[in-house]
Structure 1
Amino acid sequence: MAKKVLIVTNSFDLHADLVMPLLTARDCAVFRINLDAFPRDYQICQLFTQNKMSSEIRHLPTGASIDLAEVGAVWARKPADFAFASEDLTVQERAYAKMETEHALFGLLYPLDCYWMSHPVALRGSMWKGEQLQRARSMGFRVPASIVTNSPERVRAFKDSVQGDLVFKCLSSPMLGAEAVADEDRIATGLATTIVTDEMMESLDAVSEVPCHFQEYIHKQYELRVTIIAGRIFAAKLHSQDDPRTAVDSRDMSAEILYEATELPDEIKERCLVFVQSYGLNYSALDLIVTPEGEYVFLENNPNGQFLYVEQLIPEFKMLDAVADRLSEEAACRI
């Protein structure tokens, strides 16, 4: 009997919503954990005895359950804050509950000897922007001149050395942490990649509060979103320079710029594949720039980056099907 696919995500994940029926159509059984309802809506049991080890997860509202020995593939999609049965936990109680839940859940999942898209250890190891730039450079990519520092003096010297515009880019969350706090505690909702103005340079002492990431601004002919799913490459060409709203940061979806499928040079294809595989990832999305001179420049790696919006703009990519194909195939071959 073919094994099952386990999806670990949150209840707002449209990607998972759309892949699940594709898996069902491939006669592949699926169990989903929504972390924003865990452990409140789930019950787990990991049992160790001298002669036996067993692990089970049950979804309380539906009664559905899965023996983790039945799992042949895991899609680790998106994180979320845990939810607990009691809403009146103290701050310390909630902190302890979160730590214990993390240990319990991931102690249950990490040992699974199956196909992962992708394993949490690989996801975490591949998320650090400074390390990504160093690795990409070592693999032959051009990377922007960059600095991460909490020294205003170092930023001023860096700007002088670049002899052009600088951009500020968030290392972690472009939402400036808004997703991690309650609505009433939010003071800002996000910051796009931003060209540093002379006025900003005059306020540079604020950099001493927290390490900041600055890069040379590289002029673009166009941008690339290169999504890699189990070794398959889906390269999207973004005409970001056609609209001033996306000229610096292409993520402004209010601008209806053209996305189109494109073919990468063989050397760049291979470099992207080797980069992603070097982390042990089975999925990732890379952001690249192509300069007016035709040079390819690495910007960043998104080990769990979104891809649905790209497929919606380039329907022939069929990336949802690519995910479903690989997960179902891997589950089926692990009898």
Structure 2
Amino acid sequence: MPKRVLIVTKRADLHADIVSAKLAAAGGNPFRLNLDEFPKHFALNLEFARGRWEGELVHLPTGEALSVSDIGAVWMRKKASFNFLSADLSPQERAYAEGEMEHMLFSLLYSLDCYWMSHPAALRGASWKGEQLLRAARLGFHVPPSLVTNRRGGVDAFRAKMDGDIVFKSLSTPTLAAEQVALEERIAGTLPTTRITDEHEEALDAVVELPSFFQQHVPKRYELRVTVIGDRVFAARIDSQEDPRTETDFRDFSAEIRYAAERLPPDIERRCLELVHSYGLNYGAIDLIVTPGGEYVFLENNPVGQFLFIEQLVPELDMTGAMAACLTEGARARERAP
């Protein structure tokens, strides 16, 4: 029986849409588990017997079934809140239901012997930005001086030590957790990486509320988004200094700056692969700065980062095709396993 690829995501996920189509075109048979439809639109029936879990997951609207024994690869693509049959659960009922579903889902996933893009435990371990800086430095990357503090005096002292400006950035999410609350409860949008200037003097007093993250501002010639898929490395040059709106944070897509494929020096490509693989990951989206002096500076690695926007801007970087091929080969390798 050919092994199948399980894609764990949510309904609105264009990455999963495109990769699923490429998997199907290559003769694969992906199964998509949208967590924002789970368990409402799915039936789960598992039994522990003969020393293993057996059973299946069925998508009720279509009747498509996935046997646990047929899963050869899993792509952990996107998180989402569970969706239950009853819409009027009390807060306690919903909290209990979510806890139970999380236990059941991850009990199943952790029991699978398959190819991972990437394993939940590896994703969790790779998500801490502060630890990433230490690991990147050990691999030979230059890492900017950084500070975590909830004292205004700490910020002032750090600024005084830096020969130039500093930047503030969020560690968990630049959306200020807006996606975690109802639309009517949102009070702010995104918070990009921000270069601290005199106009932020009063705002800096707010660091007493919670520890905040600051780094030395690094001059840029250009930026790089380096995407690792399996053993392949895709590098895109981002000419962020062409527009004032993207000088500090390139993620202002209203600015029409240039993106182009970039060939990395062999030692930088090797470090990127080593960094991602050191976590047990098969995927990573790494942000680097190239300084006017040609130095490569590590900023962060997102273990589930977006890559489609890069492919759309630089079509020669066929990352959706690489993702489909990697998952297909990973699943087929499980067919050949004894």
The normalised TM-score by structure 2 is 0.97
Asked if the contact 2:225/2:286 (under 8 Å) is kept, the reply is: yes
Q: Corresponding residue for 2:205?
A: 205
How far did 1:52 drift?
A: 5.8
In structure 2, what residue type is equivalent to 1:256? Answer: E
Residue 246 of structure 2 aligns to a residue whose secondary structure is coil
CA contact (8 A) 1:2 1:333 kept: no
Shift of 1:204: 2.4
- The equivalent of 1:153 in structure 2 is 153
2:77 aligns to what? Answer: 77
Q: How many Å separate the matches in 2 of 1:184 and 1:32?
A: 30
> C-alpha displacement at 1:200, in angstroms?
2.0
Shift of 1:242: 0.4
Following superposition, the deviation at residue 277 of structure 1 comes to 0.5
Assess if the C-alpha contact under 8 Å between 1:222 and 1:289 holds in 2.
Answer: yes
Q: Which residue of 2 aligns with 1:185?
A: 185
SS, match of residue 69 in structure 1: helix
SS at match of 2:316: helix
Q: How does 1:186-335 map to 2 (within 5 A)?
A: 186-335=186-335
Distance in 2 between residues matched to 1:284 and 1:300, nearest whole Å: 10
Distance 2:224 2:331 in 1: 32
Contact 1:58 1:65 in 2 (8 A): yes
42-51 vs 282-291, greater mean Cα deviation:
42-51
Q: 1:244-263: CA deviations, max 9, x gaps? A: 11111001111111100111
* Correspondence for 1:63: 63
Amino acid at match of 2:299: L
| Superposition deviation, residue 49 in structure 1 | 3.6
Distance in 2 of aligned mates of 1:113 and 1:5: 13
The one-letter code of the counterpart of 1:188 is: A
Partner of 2:9: 9
CA distance in 1, matches of 2:283, 2:309: 16
Indicate if the aligned counterparts of 2:169 and 2:213 stay in contact, CA closer than 8 A: yes
Partner SS for 2:123: helix
Give 1:50 deviation, angstroms. Answer: 5.7
Q: Residues 243 and 84 from structure 1, CA distance in 2 versus in 1: closer, same or farther, beyond 3 angstroms?
A: same
2:189 is matched by which residue type in structure 1? T
Paired with 2:316 and 2:184, the residues of 1 have a C-alpha distance of 42
Change (3 A) 1:41 1:244: same
Structure 2 residue aligned with 1:106: 106
**2:91 is matched with which residue?**
91
| Cα shift readout 1:73-113 (whole Å, capped 9, x = no counterpart) | 11110111111111111111111111111001111111110
Distance in 1 (CA, whole Å) between partners of 2:218 and 2:53 is: 55
Q: Secondary structure at the match of 1:219?
A: coil
* Aligned-partner Cα distance in 2 for 1:121–1:55: 23
Contact between 2:115 and 2:334, CA under 8 Å: does it hold in 1?
A: no
Structure 1 counterpart SS, 2:121: helix
How many angstroms does 1:197 deviate by? Answer: 2.1
Structure 1: how far apart are the matches of 2:112 and 2:82? 21
Q: Take 1:314 and 1:26, find their aligned partners in 2: how far apart are those partners?
A: 23
For residue 24 of structure 2, what is the amino acid of its counterpart?
Answer: T
Q: Which runs of 5+ in 2 are unaligned?
A: none
CA distance in 2, matches of 1:199, 1:308: 36
Once the two structures are superposed, residues 142-193 of structure 1 have per-residue CA deviations (whole angstroms, 9 ceiling, x without a partner) of 1111111222221111111113111110101100010100011000011111
In 1: Cα distance, 2:64 partner to 2:196 partner: 53
- Aligned-residue CA RMSD (Å): 1.2
Query: Which residue matches 2:21?
Result: 21
What is the identity percentage for the equivalent residue pairs of Structure 1 and Structure 2? 57
The letter for the 2-side match of 1:308 is L
